[in-house]
Copies of this chain bind each other. A is one copy, B any other.
Amino acid sequence: MADNDKKLQEKIKSQGELVRKLKADGADKAKVTEEVNKLLELKKQLGDEGSKKFVLKTPKGTRDFAPGQMAIREGVFSKIIACFKRHGAETIDTPVFELKETLTGKYGEDSKLIYDLADQGGELLALRYDLTVPFARYLAMNKVSNIKRYHIAKVYRRDNPAMNRGRYREFYQCDFDIAGQYDLMLPDAECIKIVTEILSSLEIGDFVVKVNHRKLLDGMFAACGVPDDKFRPICSSVDKLDKTFWNDVRCEMVDEKGLDPKAADMIGEYVGFKGGIGQVNELLTDENLKAQKNALEGLEELKLLLTYCELYGVADKVCFDMSLARGLDYYTGVIYEAVLTGSTAQAVAQNTDEPVGVGSVAGGGRYDGLVGMFDSKGKKVPCVGVSIGIERLFSIMEAKAAAAEKKLRTTETEVYVIAAQKGMVEERLKLVSALWEADIKTEQSYKKNTKMLNEFQYCEQNGIPLALIIGQSEIENGVVKLKVMGSREEREVPRASMVEEIRTSLAALRSNGSEG
């Protein structure tokens, strides 16, 4: 069988080569069709023979989530959603794919990573690459001019996956954005506040939120003598500084992108700037920068942003960093990125061969022009937002849970109904039915005949706190036995009051904090 298979595959290969050659030579159409049909016939044979042999896997760069992982993931989501709601956000949802043209021209060099759907007739579609462009499309389409919304959903990038570093082709983004014509830096500062609240609540160690400004970057490029049409490509190069040494970035600028070496060296000086309001003030005295209106505006806005961050009590978590550029084309103002700096982060970095630092766990910025790109009259809706990089956070939480060695419950079952003798299916069905009716989370075995010992074991393995036992004598006396699994306490309770008794026991366990 395996041999036949191999021969067949060789035949397919050579037939495929023949077809390609005929096509390349512009051979007669009928001839090509004939040979293509032969090829399809051969492939079909392989399909029949190999029907049990396909690779059993998820697509490259994707993964399943098992119940234990889901429990961790939902814990992380609930903390993030709690924060978004604390800040008064609504939520929306958009389709997983968009018209291809909706995504076109929004992502610069990254556009090649967009997943296209096959053309099966009808519209040309592509999977969403982020949640920001669909959000902008939503605002323009529904003529929404102000909203504060969060959106938690999967996005898709045909990137080179590095799953051990939390980089996937399908991954969740948790986005919070504020759209509307508001006063300078007030929404921007709240986004940064939100990032600090979320990262603190997850208890993953120290972190810093780097901030910079696209106008300052553009002004700086102008001051260094970068030609206008090279702003975005040079900005893309600067963006690589978190993962690449300056010398390599400089090479890319000069050799690949044709930048004057002197300009590159000047940029090299500026991108070393980092700190707080003091450093912003220092740059405000730089004659070269001051001459650039853009740079001046950027610096003034950063100063106001840092002042607000101080009032929000998060100044110690925020760091002005001129080397921060962000890859995407659509940013127009403040940009920021949160990176972990604590020991948890270091441990993860060591495990995962990350070259420098552990990369970003949140990022965002202001994009005042994006909605206008979707409006027929170009009407702008200023926006600022943040995206939480949930996969990396999730990897860290998963590692923490594994280290804690505490068994995580994946169900919330409160009561397990057990028969004391064989063949009590009818009684069990009536009991579980009554408990479900009372909104008590209840399970039972799907076997007709069960063994008590195995049933108790099941409760222990799954952390089910209570067992309800029914046997012939209990039926005769109109009672059930209620067993607290943790303490092994067991008591008889009248069937009429079993729901009450269970609720009392559950409340007692909860207040003892020993439910799980």
Name A residues whose Cβ lies closer than 8 Å to a Cβ of B.
26, 28-30, 51-60, 62-67, 70, 73-74, 82, 85-99, 101-102, 105, 115-120, 122-123, 125, 127, 137-138, 140-142, 147, 149, 154, 156, 158, 170, 178, 180, 182-183, 186-187, 189-190, 193, 197, 308, 311-313, 374, 376, 378, 410-413, 425-426, 429-430, 433, 436, 439-443, 446-448
B413 and A94: CB pair below 8 A? no
**B residues within 8 A CB of A142?**
64, 66
* Contact partner, A186, options B57, B70, B425, Cβ 8 Å: B425
6 interchain residue pairs of minimum CB distance: A26-B29, A182-B446, A67-B90, A88-B443, A62-B95, A116-B118
CA distance A278 to B56 in the complex (A): 46
**Chain B residue contacts of A57, Cβ below 8 A:** 99, 141
Q: Given contacts A59-B125, A410-B90, is CB(A54)–CB(B99) below 8 Å?
A: yes
Q: Which residues of B contact A127 (CB under 8 A)?
A: 117
* CB-CB under 8 A for A87 and B448, given A59-B95, A64-B138, A95-B58: no
List chain B residues, Cβ under 8 A from A82: 439
15 A-B pairs within 8 Å (CB atoms) are namely A52-B378, A58-B95, A64-B141, A67-B91, A70-B90, A74-B91, A88-B412, A88-B443, A96-B154, A96-B170, A115-B120, A178-B446, A189-B429, A311-B426, A311-B433
Known contacts A95-B170, A98-B59, A433-B193: A183-B122 contact under CB 8 Å: no
In whole angstroms, what is the CA distance A466 to B444 when docked? 47
Instruction: Please report the C-alpha to C-alpha distance between residue A346 and residue B182 in the assembled complex, in whole angstroms.
Output: 48
Bound together, the chains give a CA A411 to CA B85 distance in angstroms of 7
Q: Which of B26, B99, B149, B187 contacts A59 (CB 8 A)?
A: B99
Residues on B with C-beta less than 8 A from A312 are 429, 433
Q: How far is the CA of A54 from the CA of B89 in the complex (A)?
A: 30
Q: Known: A412-B85, A430-B311. Is A92-B64 also a contact (CB below 8 A)? A: yes
- Give the residues in chain B near A85, CB-CB below 8 Å: 411-412, 441
User: Is the beta-carbon distance between A55 and B446 smaller than 8 angstroms?
Assistant: no
Q: Please give, as numbers and ranges, the residues of chain B lying within 8 Å of A59 by CB-CB distance.
A: 95, 97-99, 123, 125
A220 to B30 CA separation, bound complex (whole angstroms) = 49
Task: Check A441 against B86 for contact (C-beta < 8 Å).
Answer: yes
Residues of B within 8 A of A116 (CB): 117-118, 120
How many copies the complex holds: the figure is 2
Shortest C-beta distance, A335 to chain B (Å), equals: 19
Interface centre among A92, A98, A182, A440, by most B CB within 10 Å?
A92
Residue on B with the closest CB to A201?
B439
Contact B429 A86 (CB under 8 A): no
Min C-beta distance of A484 to chain B, whole Å:
18
Q: A67-B147, A91-B410 are in contact. List 17 more A-B contacts (CB 8 A).
A: A56-B374, A56-B376, A59-B99, A59-B125, A64-B94, A64-B95, A64-B142, A67-B149, A70-B90, A70-B93, A88-B443, A96-B170, A116-B118, A183-B447, A193-B433, A193-B436, A311-B429
**Please, which residue of chain B has its CB at the minimum distance from the CB of A172?**
B93
Asked if residues A88 and B441 are in contact (CB atoms below 8 Å), the reply is: yes
Which chain B residues border A378 with CB–CB below 8 Å?
Answer: 52
Beta-carbon nearest neighbor of A184 in chain B? B448
Closest to A464 in B: B88
Cα distance, A140 to B64, chains bound together (Å): 13
Tell me whether A65 and B53 are in contact (CB under 8 A): no
Other-chain contact of A70, B62, B92, B140, B439 (Cβ < 8 Å): B92
A51 CB contacts on chain B under 8 angstroms: 105
| CB pair A55 B433 closer than 8 Å | no
Chain B residues near A64: list those with CB within 8 A: 92-95, 138, 141-142
Q: Do the beta carbons of A376 and B433 come within 8 Å of each other?
A: no
Kindly provide the distance from the CB of A43 to the nearest chain B CB, expressed in whole angstroms.
12
Give the complex CA separation of A60 and B170 in angstroms.
23
Of the residues B101, B118, B182, B313, contact of A117 by C-beta under 8 Å: B118
Question: Is the CB–CB distance between B446 and A183 below 8 Å?
Answer: yes
